[in-house]
A = this chain, B = another copy of it.
Amino acid sequence: MAKKSDCWVGFDLGGTKMQATLFDGAFKPLATRRKKTKDFRGARNGLLGIIKTIEDVIAEAGIPRKRVRGIGLACPGVLNLDRGVLIQSPNLGWRNLPLVAKLEKHFGCPVVIGNDVDVGTYGEYRFGAARDARCVLGVFVGTGVGGACIYEGKIFRARTGSCMEIGHMHLQPKGDLCGCGRHGCLETVTSRLAISAEVAEAAVRGNAPHIWELAGADLTNIRSRTLRTAIERGDKAVLDIVTHAAKYLGVAVASLVNILGPDVVVLGGGLVEAFPDLYREQIRKAIREQSMKPLAAGVRVVSAKLGDDAGVLGAAALAAEAYHAQHR
């Protein structure tokens, strides 16, 4: 059995920053450290960066290392969960990093890894907006569109890795080219990148003057907040584009309700954080109108509560779960 004095490290490996948070046995945060991910080029340096950040957070909390009973990591990209290896992460440019083996050797405690969207949704299930629901569908809209499902207390996963790649549900066989190489995936319509591209087009045409003023036509300047500001200042075309994207996301979520029959749909990610009401409303409407009645009845649609902390909280909870499963 775990004791109150036990501590857990949750680690969130993002494309922009990495964050380590040390939690006590009741998952109260004791210390947090962040570093810029891009400061660590390549998998070998990346590993050193992760180790250093965890070392720092333990030192900052001032606890003996042996009180750390487990470490959990939320990672982007393709993972082999059984072997504990980060196979490929296009955003980081890292490949074949045996995270679990390396970190277990260094820290002398059990280490688990999980897909970032899975782990964030697990965080919301354990501590946030979807607490204790029997079946949770997590939908995260940012640069891409990510999904996760927590089913009867566990992350729904594929044999060796993660699944719930809802951003690559195939909706329009003749649609736009997707990052995965196919045409018409959900991401090509509803991701922040797709929206930014459409908005930039409108700006060039003169239909989104505030976007033009705030960001020009450079997609990398058009962030979720930029969209929000432009709408607040009166860019009606931008509101139309975001609303259309949210409706389209609703088509996919309504199908997912038919497939998975979730009790709670948690919406998160940068775009949802910028437009929480718009997204909740459009997704609720889509489920009401497009899902089958017995499955639509009683689905709660909520916004994620934990923000940036979902990853570290979910990762720490996973580490504790794995520890308890071994010491039962």
Contacts and interface: CB of A to CB of B under 8 A. Distances in A.
Q: Which of A151, A161, A173, A255 has the most CB of B within 10 A?
A: A255
A259 interface: yes
B164 A259 contact: yes
A157 B259 contact: no
Given A170-B255, A171-B171, A261 B159 contact: yes
A158 interface: yes
Q: Which of A78, A135, A263, A295 has the most CB of B within 10 A?
A: A295
Interface in A283-299: 289-290, 292, 294-295, 298
Across the A-B interface, the 6 shortest Cβ-Cβ residue pairs: A158-B261, A163-B261, A165-B258, A169-B255, A168-B258, A170-B255
B170 A290 contact: yes
Contacts of A171: 171
A246 interface: no
A188 to B, nearest CB: 14
Interface of A: 78, 87, 134-135, 147, 151, 156-166, 168-171, 173, 180, 182, 251-252, 254-256, 258-263, 289-290, 292, 294-295, 298
B261 A295 contact: no
A249 B147 CA distance: 22
A256 B156 CA distance: 13
Nearest to A182: B290
